[in-house]
Structure 1
Amino acid sequence: MARTVDPEKHRARRLLIIDAALTCFAESGYAGTSTAAICRRAGIGSGTFFHYFPTKQSLLLAILALGTDETRAWFAACPADGSPIAVVEAYLDHTSAQMADPRMPGFVRAVGAVVGEPEVDAALDEDTRVLQDGLEPWIVRAQEAGEVRTDLPAHDLTSWVLVVLDGFLGRLATDAAFTAEKQAGTLRDAVRRLLAVSEV
């Protein structure tokens, strides 16, 4: 008789492994993290690990996909009649809160070490696409409402917001004194200035 799988328990175990891997990658880097170390951190055996993830890279890809799915869900949950600029700023606050996780700088460095691997690059490209697709309609609406500048197309303006976010994340990964808690307000201010309607 086939073994019955409890979907909730399966999901919880999978997230436990993902969380343990995130910690290990942050502490030891991608190359320095073994599947055995992840198993020890998660309190599981290797058989359980490989039941959920066939390789270490597949686990890294799962972490990236989870982040992408969370971004997609965040925008899907935004009220359709919300203030466009308020949604953009709320996303900045949401990002700052996520980046405040002390593991994030190390995890970003770990991912950076495997950039160039086709599957990793594809996952990062998908994440960028989802974020662009999530933000751009709100930038369009903000332009229509006269809340942000219109001298650039919404697509380009959204891309520039992503450039600022990427720079913020990159700095967190390389400068221990630059923290999400300290810089969240400046991030919001930088994007606000980028989007501002020119008074000239």
Structure 2
Amino acid sequence: MARTVDPARHEARRLVIIDAALTVFAAHGYDGATTAAICRQARIGSGTLFHYFPTKLAVLLGILDHGTREVRESAADYDGREDPLGVLLEIVGGSADEAADPRMPGFVRAAAGVMHLPEVAAALDADAEAQRDRIRPWVRQGQEAGEVRTDLPAARIVSWLMLLMDGFLERIAVEPGFTALGERDLLVATAREFLVPR
């Protein structure tokens, strides 16, 4: 008789592995991370790890995919809002809040070290597209409501907001004194200054 799988338990175990792997990649980089270290951090055996993720690369892709799913799901958090500028600034501020995880600088460096791999590049592209899809309707609504500048097309504004958020994350990864908590308010103020019509 085939064993039935409890979907909630399966997903919970998968998330434990993803969280453990994030810690290991952040501490040791992609090349220095081992599946054995991930197993130790997750307190699981290698058989369990390989049941969920057959390779170290699959674990990294799982982390990236999880982040992309969170971005897509978070878009619904803004349903019914009538303050497009407020939503856009919350999205920008939220990206800084996520970057405040102390593991984030190391993980960003680890992922950057393998972004030349086609699978990683595709996962990063999917995440960027999810980000654009979340931002784009609010830029358009903001322009229609007169809350967001109209001298630039919406697509270009979206690109610049992405540049602000991605650049912020890069600075956190490479500049030790540049912290998400310390720079969050300036990031949001910069986004506001860029978005508001002159």
Measured in 2, the distance between the counterparts of 1:197 and 1:78 equals 22
Matches within 5 A, 1:100-115: 100-115=100-115
Report the equivalent of 2:95. 95
Measured in 1, the distance between the counterparts of 2:140 and 2:80 equals 13
Report the equivalent of 2:162. 162
CA positional deviation for 1:80? 2.7
Contiguous gaps of at least 5 residues in structure 2:
none
Report the equivalent of 2:186. 186
Structure that is richer in helix per residue:
2
Does 2:133 match 1:133? yes
Measured in 2, the distance between the counterparts of 1:53 and 1:128 equals 23
User: What residue identity is the alignment partner of 2:36?
Assistant: A
TM-score normalised to the size of structure 1? 0.97
Does 2:23 match 1:23? yes
Report the equivalent of 1:153. 153
CA positional deviation for 1:140? 0.5
Measured in 1, the distance between the counterparts of 2:61 and 2:80 equals 31
Matches within 5 A, 1:44-59: 44-59=44-59
Measured in 1, the distance between the counterparts of 2:7 and 2:144 equals 44
Q: Secondary structure at the match of 2:78?
A: coil
CA positional deviation for 1:138? 0.2
CA positional deviation for 1:90? 1.1
Measured in 1, the distance between the counterparts of 2:153 and 2:51 equals 47
CA positional deviation for 1:96? 1.5
Report the equivalent of 2:63. 63
Measured in 1, the distance between the counterparts of 2:152 and 2:92 equals 21
Report the equivalent of 1:35. 35
Q: Secondary structure at the match of 2:151?
A: coil
Measured in 1, the distance between the counterparts of 2:175 and 2:82 equals 35
Measured in 2, the distance between the counterparts of 1:154 and 1:162 equals 12
> Identity rate of aligned residues, in percent?
52
Contiguous gaps of at least 5 residues in structure 1:
none
Report the equivalent of 2:174. 174
CA positional deviation for 1:133? 1.1
Matches within 5 A, 1:72-91: 72-91=72-91
Measured in 2, the distance between the counterparts of 1:101 and 1:52 equals 24
Measured in 2, the distance between the counterparts of 1:6 and 1:21 equals 23
CA RMSD of aligned residues (A): 0.9
User: What residue identity is the alignment partner of 2:37?
Assistant: A
Deviations 1:77-132 (A, max 9, x none): 21234310111111122111111100000000000000110010001001111111
Measured in 2, the distance between the counterparts of 1:3 and 1:136 equals 44
Measured in 2, the distance between the counterparts of 1:42 and 1:114 equals 23
TM-score normalised to the size of structure 2? 0.98
Measured in 2, the distance between the counterparts of 1:103 and 1:160 equals 26
